[in-house]
């Protein structure tokens, strides 16, 4: 089971969640309630522009179809990306 950890800026998820899934898409589908989904994913199901997702310390590569593999004991971090100067 993968462990999903959200940055404190995403206030809906104070505690890590442990969910089943073999891809990033499956893991996020299991970890996010319908009312939380819009904070992380856009209306096409892609990772939002100002959200960063890391799988076992590596930034996800497929932000559109979320096909990146997640290992059985994987750790997914969902962060609000910072921008600006």
Give pTM, 2 decimals.
0.90
How far apart (Å, rounded) are the C-alpha atoms in residues 27 and 20?
Answer: 6
Q: Where are the beta strands (DSSP E) in the chain?
A: 2-6, 17-19, 51-55, 58-59, 75-80
CATH assignment of 2-80, given 3.90.226.10, 3.40.50.620, 3.10.20.30, 3.30.70.260?
3.10.20.30
Q: How confident is the model at residue 70 (pLDDT cuts 50, 70, 90)?
A: very high
Q: What are phi and psi of 52, to 5 degrees?
A: -115, 135
User: How many other CB atoms are there within 10 angstroms of residue 6's CB atom?
Assistant: 23
The residue among 52 and 15 whose pLDDT is bigger is 52
CB 19 within 8 A of CB 4: yes
* pLDDT above 70 (res 50): yes
How far apart (Å, rounded) are the C-alpha atoms in residues 39 and 12?
Answer: 9
């Amino acid at each position: 089971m993968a462990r999903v950890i959200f940055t404190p800026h995403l206030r809906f998820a104070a505690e890590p969640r442990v969910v089943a899934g073999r891809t990033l898409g499956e893991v996020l589908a299991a970890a996010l309630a319908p009312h939380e989904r819009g904070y992380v994913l856009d209306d096409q199901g892609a990772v939002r522009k100002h959200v960063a997702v890391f799988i076992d310390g590596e930034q996800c590569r497929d932000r559109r179809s979320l096909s990146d593999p997640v290992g059985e004991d994987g750790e997914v971090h969902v962060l609000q990306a910072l921008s600006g100067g």
